[in-house]
Chains A and B, each alone.
Chain A
Amino acid sequence: MSMSTAVFSVEGLWKVFGPKADTVPGDPELTALDPAELRARTGCTAAVRDVSFDVRKGEVFVVMGLSGSGKSTLVRCLTRLIEPTAGAIAIDGEDVRAMDRSRLRELRRHRAAMVFQHFGLLPHRTVLDNVAYGLEIQGVGKAERRARAREVVAKVGLEGMEQRRPAQLSGGQRQRVGLARALAVDPEVLLFDEPFSALDPLIRRDMQEEVVRLHREEGRTMVFITHDLGEALKLGDRIALMRDGRVVQLGTPEEIVGSPADDYVREFVRDVPREQVMTVRSAMRPGECKSPEHPNAIAADEVVAEAIKVVARSGSAACVVEDGHCLGVVDHERLIGVVAGTEPGAVAGTEPRKEAA
């Protein structure tokens, strides 16, 4: 399935809350029920139902869904902050569910660090000591952990605030501390649980750009939970869309917006400004422009909005170019079709959702 190596690999994961929860995933009769019926029959709530996906090295993997869709439970299962009921989780091929206490602590200390919605800072510690907390837990000496914490504090733009306490910071600054605390342990994967949903819109945008910048600079693998579609499309290399504990569609932003898997997803992405998400590649009419100089050349990975500018400026169709070859042509008709959402599902093969055996 994956072209590059998977950091996290999740297979048939279940998390059921309630009495005798462990009997639910194995019972085909119960797994077929919808959430309300299941609760009525067994008193159990299935927060995560048979979820499978791989998180590839270096990508931003977004899990997106409305509240109650199970996304926060899912991310906690990855490091077993919540113990999964059934299924397999592997990190770099190592079985997470088989880990003993100390191995699991090792995983949490060095390999996956989490950023929380309400920050989860220790109110009695300074910013610096909050950031150094993860290192302190690992047993790193005071001088060294403070020095490393200072670097990370600078990296997230909080220089000069090292001695403040969380109560003296704004919401955005607090989340920068939360981010710095996770970064300070230099984890392989960063897990974000709706980190910006408690922030004001402008601050949220700043923080999203901060994440984009960090990802560009460090290329760290990220798993990002959000209920905000705009945030998901902006940050995600790939998005898993969850509903009632299941992943209803998994794909790139373009695949999700361009070819929704069902009516629920279609309804979800209805108001997305498609020209900001769809690429020229999916909008073009394939075929050579038959002209050596490629008039109005535009890269295949550019979004449609850019092509509209080019076409509007020149008044004629644009040539879609990749590696010096012409792949096709976009004219105003195709572009308007994308904006209106009437063009045929041109996206090549949405990644099919895996069904568990």
Chain B
Amino acid sequence: MATLTASVPLSGGLLKRRSVQKLLLLALAAAVLIPLANAQWASGSWPDALTVDLSKPLTGASDWIIDNRDSHPLFLYGFGYVSNAVVVSVRAVYLVLLAAGWAGVTAIGALVAWRVAGVRLALGTGAAFLACGLLGMWVPTMQTLALMVVAVLASVLVGVLLGLAAGLSDRMDRALRPVLDTMQVLPAYAYLLPVVLVFGMGVPAAVLATVVYAAPPMARLTALGLRGADKEVLEAVDSLGATARQRLLTARVPLARKELLLGLNQTIMMALSMAVIASVIGAAGLGDRVYQALASVDVGAALAAGIPIVLLAVVLDRVTGAAGENVGEEHGNTRRLWLYAALAAVAVAVAGRLAGRLDWPDAWTMNIAEPVNRAVDWMTAHLYSGVPYIGGTADWAGHFTTWVLNPVRSGLQWLPWWSLLLLVAALAWLIGTWRTALTAVLAMAAIGVLGVWTPALDTLSQVLAAVAVTLVLGFATGIAAARSDRFERLLRPVLDVFQTMPQFVYLIPVVALFGVGRAPAVAAAVVYALPAVVRITTQGLRQVDPAALESARSLGATPAQQLRQVQLPLARPALLLAVNQGVVLVLAVVIIGGLVGGGALGYDAVFGLAQGDLATGLVAGVGIVCLGLMLDRVTQPTERRTKSGM
């Protein structure tokens, strides 16, 4: 409500009074609590007296799990079965893919794309698969694909079941929604550690982390689709005497088809993103190649594995997206065409088999790593620094670190701990309810209690810097795109591609350009978050009531006045959403930036995984979760909460 009334000038006074009330109340509480806290514990960094050292119990737990993983019945009969089932199914899919041969897989992919999305995407799909082979990445591509197939099937199953429960039962919906909402804002990294703790490094952990990450959108959209069904259609179905089962199968599920397919699309994209990231916990495949290459700053090798990831992402997104758009337009002899497609694919696979060409022929691979590395070397030599007038990329990175990241970090770390809590409380309360503020403050305090205050503030400084850059660039581009149709048309395909790429891939070009460190991590985060911010801003501005804009124009407002006085105020909810999304996306990549020298929480998590020091990793993981929760609550307007409470 607050955000709605805020855009109406008449009720501005009311809002002002309310926000002033909130701030006064907060100041009162602070005036009582802060001297107490100050007297008890020193100000400055988070007091040691208030931290709880979890490393010992966590190490104990992790040691116990490692010791008992092969003997304790819980693992033998519980997780062991899950783990075995995952390994067996991934292996089976992988073998099937290999048995189909490269020609067979390419044919199947292209024919499915043809039936679902048309000839153009079929050609694109075929070309993408061939490119994967050409880059010498056929086997890793199949490994990633096998992992994804299993993970997506499991995610869809779990997601649909949860979605059905939430869609059909109000109580389940109320219970699940906050959980799913929160899972949505957590960085992918946070899911890795608990899974590793239980399952150890390896394929099962990778698949399960992927399922946990990719199932929520399916569940959300299934529930949304079931709940969004046209009430009158359902009433009509009832009026004809349908049983509950008939009603679900013939009306509710088909009516939700669009949402279900959108959910499938999102699940596939998130599964790909996670399957790549899961390479750090032992998933073989493309992500592993990127990870290994980045570890030795071998940009060429990273790119050779990164390109197939991007191609896979674009193809999967377009094909599943087209499936969603074409819902309800299929005609007549669909079944026969599917049959033809299946026969053709089998024929190609058999032909490949008979020709003895199952594996991608070595002679057909193209080694791009060397030329790319040469180019990178050239860039390092000529562009890194000392370019006249503009300076080099490494210079920029250095300056950004010195002039922006370092001051922000030291500023945050210099602030007394209680003042940060107060700041978080004030921001969260102004934008939301006391409940939001409480969650945010508790999350922030938990960071201190866990003893990761300093690295968390380091991460926070990177997030703040990246968000600031993202918002400036994003709003400017968004406004420009909203004002010029031509610019938007040019921008749209770029945004489409950028939004489908997994987070991991963004690290490759920034390492090539800026080397390693905190500035490249921030740059990757900006590039990753920018498309979403631009898109939301453009849409928000374009959806402003045309009548309001027209009346402003008829009164003789200049374009600048229209923008400032009509468009921006009316698009306020969209702009706030853009900020929220920007923060969430930036955090996700800043964390992953720990892999390329971003340090802080992300590094702790990776270090914990790499060294088998799960205690450190888990504490860092929980810290990441808390930071994500806090940032989301501080930037999320209450409007969304109240709506989701219905």
Contact = CB atoms under 8 A, between A and B. Distances in A.
A81 B250 contact: no
Interface in B291-331: 327-328
A185 B233 contact: no
B241 interface: yes
A185 B328 contact: no
B241 A107 contact: yes
Nearest to A130: B236
A308 interface: no
Interface in A282-330: none
B255 A116 contact: no
B239 interface: yes
A68 interface: no
Given A118-B232, A122-B250, A124-B254, A108 B239 contact: yes
B239 A137 contact: no
Contact of B233 (A76, A104, A120): A120
B240 A137 contact: yes
B250 A136 contact: yes
B239 A124 contact: no
Nearest to B239: A114
Interface in B233-249: 233, 235-243, 246
Nearest to A165: B328
B240 A185 contact: yes
A67 to B, nearest CB: 16
A108 B238 contact: yes
Contact of B242 (A110, A114, A137, A181): A137
Given A133-B250, A136-B250, A137-B246, A121 B233 contact: yes
B240 A108 contact: yes
B242 A116 contact: no
A12 to B, nearest CB: 24
A108 B241 contact: yes
Nearest to B332: A163
A185 B239 CA distance: 12
Interface residues of A, number: 32
B235 A120 contact: yes
B542 interface: no
A171 B232 CA distance: 15
A335 to B, nearest CB: 46
A105 B254 CA distance: 22
B257 interface: yes
A203 B604 CA distance: 70
A106 B241 contact: yes
Nearest to B233: A120
A78 to B, nearest CB: 10
A124 B235 contact: no
B328 A114 contact: no
A181 B230 CA distance: 18
Contact of B230 (A107, A117, A120): A120
Residue from A81, A117, A123, A165 whose CB has the most chain B CB atoms within 10 Å: A123
A79 B257 CA distance: 30
Interface in B546-576: none
A134 interface: yes
Given A120-B232, A121-B233, A167-B328, A113 B239 contact: yes
Contacts of A120: 230, 232-233, 235-237
A129 B167 CA distance: 26
A138 interface: yes
Contacts of B243: 105, 137
A81 B241 contact: no
A148 interface: no
Contact of B235 (A105, A116, A133, A178): A116
A204 interface: no
Given A124-B254, A167-B328, A114 B246 contact: no
B468 interface: no
Contacts of B242: 105, 137
B297 to A, nearest CB: 53
B65 interface: no
B421 interface: no
Given A81-B235, A118-B232, A137-B246, A124 B257 contact: yes
B250 A114 contact: no
Interface residues of B, number: 20
Interface in B123-159: none
A109 interface: yes
Given A122-B250, A122-B254, A165-B328, A113 B232 contact: no
Contacts of B241: 104-110, 134, 137-138
A109 B239 CA distance: 8
A191 B251 CA distance: 21
B504 to A, nearest CB: 38
Contacts of A137: 237, 240-243, 246, 250
Given A81-B238, A81-B239, A124 B328 contact: yes
Interface in A70-128: 76, 79, 81, 104-110, 113-114, 116-124
A81 B238 CA distance: 7
B334 to A, nearest CB: 13
Nearest to A76: B235
Interface in A42-90: 76, 79, 81
A107 B242 CA distance: 11
Interface in B191-210: none
A124 B255 contact: yes
B367 to A, nearest CB: 50
A116 B254 contact: no
A323 B593 CA distance: 99
Contacts of A104: 241
B574 to A, nearest CB: 29
Contacts of A191: 239
A123 B232 contact: no
B313 to A, nearest CB: 29
A227 B254 CA distance: 33
A138 B232 CA distance: 20
B239 to A, nearest CB: 4
Contacts of B246: 137
A125 B577 CA distance: 37
Contacts of B255: 122-124
Contacts of B327: 124
Contacts of A118: 230, 232
Interface in A119-170: 119-124, 133-134, 136-138, 165, 167
Residue from A116, A119, A120, A181 whose CB has the most chain B CB atoms within 10 Å: A120
Residue from B230, B236, B243 whose CB has the most chain A CB atoms within 10 Å: B236
Contact of B232 (A107, A116, A124, A167): A116
Contacts of B239: 79, 81, 108, 113-114, 116, 191
Residue from B235, B238, B239, B250 whose CB has the most chain A CB atoms within 10 Å: B239
Contacts of A124: 254-255, 257, 327-328
A185 B237 CA distance: 13
A120 B237 CA distance: 8
B322 to A, nearest CB: 17
22 contacts: A81-B235, A81-B238, A81-B239, A104-B241, A106-B241, A107-B241, A108-B241, A109-B240, A116-B232, A116-B235, A116-B239, A119-B236, A120-B235, A120-B236, A121-B233, A123-B328, A124-B254, A133-B250, A137-B242, A137-B243, A165-B328, A185-B240
Interface of B: 230, 232-233, 235-243, 246, 250-251, 254-255, 257, 327-328
Interface of A: 76, 79, 81, 104-110, 113-114, 116-124, 133-134, 136-138, 165, 167, 178, 181, 185, 191
Given A81-B238, A178-B236, 4 more contacts: A114-B239, A120-B232, A137-B250, A165-B328
The 5 closest A-B pairs by CB, nearest first: A120-B236, A108-B241, A109-B241, A114-B239, A105-B241
